A and B are shown apart, each in its own frame.
Chain A
Amino acid sequence: MRPAGLNRDFILIGENIHTTRVLLRNGRRVAPSPDGVESVLFENSAGETGYLPIPEELKRRQDYEEGRVKHVMIAVLGGMRGDPLSLDYLRVMAARQIARGAGYLDLNVDEISHRLPEQIAAIQWLVRTIEEFSSVPLAIDSSNVDIILAGLDACQGRAGRPLLNSASLERSDALDAAARRGIPVMVTAAGASGMPSNAADRVNNASQMIDAALARGLDAASIFVDPLMFPISVDSEFGNHCLDAIRELRARYGPAIHISGGLSNVSFGLPARKLINEVFIRLAVEAGADSGIVDPVANDLHAVFQADRSARPQQLAEEMLLGRDRGCKNFLRAYRKGELSATL
């Protein structure tokens, strides 16, 4: 896609079809259906309000009791049982992301179970299901290589080669699988025995992965790099660690390689997450990223690059993300005064 206000393409990897995704029970999208069943509201493919009932077995889970509804998990579990409403829910989720410019749909079912056979059954079902109505290729995402490989096995690639998400120094066998299948791969900056602690670690780890991918015959345009963004709430230098690594990797490997990654992690532990995420997408792209794993429904990429960066909420978020607001103090003060709300 070409976001308005940006003079180059951005490969948007839509992250919405993840079983981790939650809605708040007291939010707008959870309400009783006309026959009184607590449901997830959505606009169905006929353009009417659909009601996806929350099954009783999910109500016994802790996240529900704490006020969160795992709506994608409900739809995947329902869909696997052949429930047409669940299938429509997933179809609409795919279509909305594609309409917002998604070039890949990222699929992750890790949380559906903690048993590998169930996770494998779910990813294979989801891959086949989404592929049937998606006009863009899939990204097969898991923290377990076996789940990724099972997902890839189920994928026909009818809308394009799937993206393997992800390989890293601690699981380089995933890289072999990508090379063998000739498919694009996301490589992360995780180390062989720990997370990177600065920009240099990230560049070092990611470079080893990129070099290994190139050595296995993958072309630069098939390599996506996730430099790993950690929450700015934990350390005010985390933004710079990631952005500096993006700059260095772009300088080192030139324009063909894709620099991407899960960008919404940046705002964990803070309020006004949409604002923070959007400003960080812009900063990452300015540093040299040309892709991102994002929620295109929440974060309209066309708005991201046209936002008034001199507006106070944008400024506060930018200062915080660039390490100039220790402990996020100014940002949180402004939040409490209601000064960020104009953009929410």
Chain B
Amino acid sequence: MPELHDIANEFIRQEIDEFIERPDERARIIGLFAKASEQMQAIAAALIDGDHETVDRLTAEAIAAGVHAMEVMDDGLIAGMAIVGIKFRQNFIFVPEVLSCARAMKAGMVHIEPILSAAGIEKLGKVIMGTVKGDLHDIGKNLCIMMLRGAGFEVIDLGVDTSQDRFIDAIEEHGANILGMSALLTTTMPNMGKTIEAFIDAGLRDDIRIMVGGAPVTQDFADEMGADGYGKDALACVSLAKQFAGKA
């Protein structure tokens, strides 16, 4: 089993030592980085630091030096984000810092996306995202979209105040099989359930997986409405989408 000292990058070692407390997570993250090259560890370190300029430069250099785009994405960017997610969950870092990391992720993905699409490597999946009818809040939903794109999904953003028909039309038009709905208000939350019913009535429910989230939403409520999953934050949203796409 890989140990902490198998990781070359000192910053990454310190981050794991200081912030990753749960033994199962610690083993997983150490395993992730022990197999990553020093160059990839440096990209992850810059991402964890929220330094988008360095991520941009190191990613471009790695691609130019012939490192495979998938390796940069998995061993650099996604591995870095795994540490960020845990630090956020444990209140070691806060919203502005997660946003900086997400921006750094995006700076790296700019170099990777064209290569993956030119090589015919398919996106992980296509996700339709929107805030439900009657609700104008989008900060959380936008954060989810940024993270989903960073993780390799194609995302179609329907914005706020999205009617059932617009959700259904978008699924059909884009041939997407994952739907994400967000609500910030208790009073608009039931519109998630109504949208799910509309998909049943349209005979499309079995073709898609539905995930829901937003401040007042809970797992219980998601179950009761008949959603396939609930994510309590943007990182949970990404892991759900991966699970739905069979890429977890």
Number of interface residues of A (CB under 8 A): 33
Determine the chain A residues whose CB is within 8 A of the CB of B185 once the complex forms.
Answer: 110, 143
Give residues of chain B (33-65) contacting chain A, Cβ–Cβ below 8 Å.
Answer: 50
Interface 1/0 per residue, A93-125 and B, CB below 8 Å: 000000000000000001100110001000000
Question: Quick one: CB contact mask for B172-187 with A, threshold 8 Å, 1 for yes?
Answer: 0000000000000111
* A231 interface neighbour in B91, B95, B218, Cβ under 8 Å: B95
- Partner among B50, B136, B139, B218 whose Cβ is within 8 Å of the Cβ of A190: B136
A170-B136, A194-B136, A327-B99 known; A270 vs B186 contact (CB < 8 Å): no
B189:A230 contact, CB within 8 angstroms: no
| Range class of the B interface residue count | 20 to 34
Give Cα A143–Cα B221 distance, bound, in whole angstroms: 19
Flag if B187 contacts A143 (CB, 8 Å): yes
Kindly state the separation between the CA atoms of A318 and B109 in the bound complex, as whole angstroms. 35
Interface pair B50/A327, CB less than 8 Å apart: yes
Q: How far does the alpha carbon of A114 sit from the alpha carbon of B99 in the complex, in Å?
A: 31
**B96, A114: Cβ atoms under 8 Å?**
no
Q: Mark contacts of A160-201 with chain B using CB atoms, 8 A cut-off: 1 yes-contact digit, 0 otherwise.
A: 000000000010000000000000000000110111000000
The chain A residues found within 8 Å of chain B, CB to CB, are 20, 60-63, 66, 110-111, 114-115, 119, 142-144, 147, 170, 190-191, 193-195, 230-231, 233-234, 268-271, 327-329, 332
Which residues 128-187 in B have Cβ within 8 Å of A in the complex? 134, 136-139, 159-161, 185-187
Main secondary structure of the interface of B (DSSP, over half): loop
Residue among B91, B136, B138, B189 with most chain A CB within 10 A = B136
Q: Assess whether B31 is interfacial by the CB under 8 Å rule.
A: no
Among the listed A20, A119, A147, A195, which residue makes an inter-chain contact with B136, where contact means beta carbons less than 8 Å apart?
A195
Chain B residues in 8 Å Cβ range of A143:
185-188
Report yes or no: B187 in contact with A62, Cβ–Cβ below 8 A.
no
A234 and B218 contacting across the interface, CB-CB below 8 Å: no
Give complex CA distance A233, B159 in Å: 21
On chain B, the residues within 8 Å of A111 by CB distance are 186, 216
Cβ contacts under 8 Å, A114 to chain B? 186, 189-190, 221
